[in-house]
Amino acid sequence: MIRIAVDGMGGDYAPQVVVEGAVHAANDFSDLEIVLVGQPDALKRELNRHKVLGGKIVIREATEIVGMGDSPVAAIKKKKDSSLNVCIELLKNQEVEGVMSAGNTGAAVAASTLKLGLLPGIKRPGIAISVPTLHGISIAIDVGANLNPSPEELYQYAIMAEVYARCILKKKRPSVALLNIGEEESKGTEVLKETYKILRESPLNFVGNIEGRDFFTGKVDCIICDGFVGNVVLKMSESLLETSVALITRELKKNPITLLGAWLCKPALAAIRNETNYEEAGGAPLLGVNGPVIISHGISSARAIRNAIRVCADLVATRVNANIVEGVSQYGNGSTRVESKTS
């Protein structure tokens, strides 16, 4: 059995949707047990709306709630008994093996980093996301934890992404690329040029720079970028799909023939939506902290929550963190490579 703590009060539609997603996960996956953390009355009321297989969900009290707009560090220090803090404490005390929260992202990053600490050799955590492409799933890191990563930190992200792609996406020798404004080694900022050198000399399967146009084509398995550009790209791509659908719908409705055509296309479009939907990807792993933590979109649906809990359990089952530690000791962490050159 894998025990996962779920932040019952985190997210735009908490606790209703979070509890519903947790129930689906508990019922659908026989290897899972869930500790639902939050205000017991609210959680029980939601749980009573569903049938749960015996003993698969237990409630753990937390009296406070971190709001979506709360300042991360203040939230951790002032709301010690928040559902988020209690989840992380449970993980730290090994009462659970992983945590899933759809709440305040900054607070989840700060609480995980401060309470769990970082894996040996890792200097900053990074948020990774699964990217649906024309050729399966790729992984991109970082999408918002670290706005100004150093070359060493970007190299560490590359190692973590490579391990994740091997363990979770089951890729044999994942390819790694830097997101840049041109493919040539001479392109981009000084930080990227230095990172390029470190990656080129590393044992990773580094294939060079990719441009924005290859983000969704599946050209590479692991896309490495700073948290600023990663965050903008992530939010933009979600919006661009929505904008495209809105534009298409507006245009199709102008004419009964195109409207009929749209109706006939529906099953195919639904299939694409499933393939590319963030709900299926199931949350973003916070890599580099000493314990499996999944951060989900604040607007997550019950299905997205269920899948995020599944991914969290997969992080546990495939021992991603142990593999990252092994990766760092095997490949170096970027700074040890530089030090060994100067010594």
SS3 274: helix
Spatial separation of the C-alpha atoms in residues 124 and 158, rounded to whole Å = 12
Instruction: Answer positive or negative: Cα dihedral of 226, 227, 228, 233.
Output: positive
CA angle 119/121/126 to nearest 5° reads: 60
Residue 223 or residue 324: which is nearer to a copy of itself going by CB? Answer: 223
Other CB atoms within a 10 A radius of the CB of residue 7 amount to: 31
Residue 10 or residue 327: which is nearer to a copy of itself going by CB? Answer: 10
Residue 34 or residue 304: which is nearer to a copy of itself going by CB? Answer: 304
Residue 180 or residue 321: which is nearer to a copy of itself going by CB? Answer: 180
Q: Which helix (H) or strand (E) holds 136?
A: strand 136-141
Residue 51 or residue 135: which is nearer to a copy of itself going by CB? Answer: 135
Q: Which helix (H) or strand (E) holds 229?
A: helix 227-252
Q: How far is the CB of 201 from a copy of itself (least distance, A)?
A: 24
Q: How far is the CB of 255 from a copy of itself (least distance, A)?
A: 7
Q: How far is the CB of 269 from a copy of itself (least distance, A)?
A: 7
Q: How far is the CB of 128 from a copy of itself (least distance, A)?
A: 16
Is the Cβ–Cβ distance between 243 and 218 less than 8 Å?
no
* Buried/exposed code over 123-152 (b: 16+ C-beta within 10 A; e: otherwise): ebbbbbbbbbbeeebbbbbbbbbbeebbbb
Residue 201 or residue 238: which is nearer to a copy of itself going by CB? Answer: 238
Residue 297 or residue 310: which is nearer to a copy of itself going by CB? Answer: 297
Spatial separation of the C-alpha atoms in residues 317 and 26, rounded to whole Å = 16
Q: How far is the CB of 320 from a copy of itself (least distance, A)?
A: 26
Spatial separation of the C-alpha atoms in residues 6 and 12, rounded to whole Å = 15
Instruction: Answer positive or negative: Cα dihedral of 311, 317, 321, 326.
Output: negative
Q: How far is the CB of 263 from a copy of itself (least distance, A)?
A: 7
Spatial separation of the C-alpha atoms in residues 300 and 22, rounded to whole Å = 12
Q: How far is the CB of 28 from a copy of itself (least distance, A)?
A: 26
Q: How far is the CB of 272 from a copy of itself (least distance, A)?
A: 5
Rule CB under 8 A: which residues touch a copy of itself? 133-134, 144, 147-148, 179, 181, 188-189, 211-217, 227-229, 231-241, 243-244, 246-248, 251-252, 254-255, 257-258, 260-269, 271-272, 275-276
Residue 48 or residue 244: which is nearer to a copy of itself going by CB? Answer: 244
Q: How far is the CB of 240 from a copy of itself (least distance, A)?
A: 5
* Buried/exposed code over 225-240 (b: 16+ C-beta within 10 A; e: otherwise): bbbebbbebbeebeee
Given the DSSP bridges, would you call strands 2-7 and 32-38 parallel, antiparallel or unpaired? parallel
Residues sharing a CB contact under 8 Å with residue 270, sequence separation 6 or more, in sequence order: none
Is the Cβ–Cβ distance between 287 and 324 less than 8 Å?
yes
Residue 42 or residue 241: which is nearer to a copy of itself going by CB? Answer: 241
